[in-house]
Amino acid sequence: MARPWERLLEQLVHERYGMLVGWATLVCGSREDAQDLLQDALMATFSSRARFTTLPEAEQYVRRAVATRSIDAARRRGRERTAFATIAGHAPAPAPGVEGHHLPADVVRALAGLAPRERACVVLRHLEDLSVRETAGLLGISEGAVKRYTSDGVAQLDATLGGVTATPSESMTVQPVRRGGAPTEVPER
């Protein structure tokens, strides 16, 4: 008789495998590596101490595991600087007049041009909708680093694809040192 985790894994694979591969592709920047990365994440998820009772719980854990392991995987391959330098040097020019209609392959290629932590922060913050604090905790980096990686990552996507911006989700008011004038509200980048 199949154990509960086996039944849940089967259901997850049957119903959500395609979307999880899509998620892994975005996170690691490579369709070729995505399935391997997802394989590792599934293995880690279902061999961990956590025992899931619902499909969404299991899927969310797998998505988190994909994100954290993508950085380990990139370090292991030693491609962090190499890929960034390579892709950045060959970044395609933004397609003129095609706002909002970037091809998936172009987006994946653009993401591949980011450093692993930049890519992880962009995807976790802007697709998974994690907060700065949650992202920092998941990746084991400071909140300041999350903001920096996210900002740099979005800027790089804009440079590569053109016409990409991040909707401010958190803003802070700064008090510049100057004579007179109202405080300037600076959206989070």
Note the residues at the interface with another protein (CB under 8 A). Answer: 5-6, 9, 13, 17-19, 21-23, 25-26, 31, 35, 39-40, 42-44, 46-51, 56-57, 60-61, 63-65, 68-69, 72-73, 76-79, 99-100, 102, 104, 107-108, 122-123, 126-127, 129-130, 134, 137-141, 154, 157, 161, 163-167
Q: Are 99 and 167 in contact (CB under 8 A)?
A: no
> Is residue 43 helix, strand or coil?
helix
- Provide, rounded to whole angstroms, the least separation between the CB of residue 39 and another protein: 6
**What backbone phi and psi angles, to 5 degrees, belong to 166?**
-110, 130
- Provide, rounded to whole angstroms, the least separation between the CB of residue 58 and another protein: 9
Residue partners of 55: CB distance under 8 A and separation at least 6: 8, 11, 12, 15, 16
Closer by beta carbon to another protein, 48 or else 174: 48
Instruction: Identify the CA nearest to 166 among candidates 146, 183, 187.
Output: 187
Closer by beta carbon to another protein, 49 or else 178: 49
- Provide, rounded to whole angstroms, the least separation between the CB of residue 144 and another protein: 14
| Structure-token pair, residue 173 | 């008011």
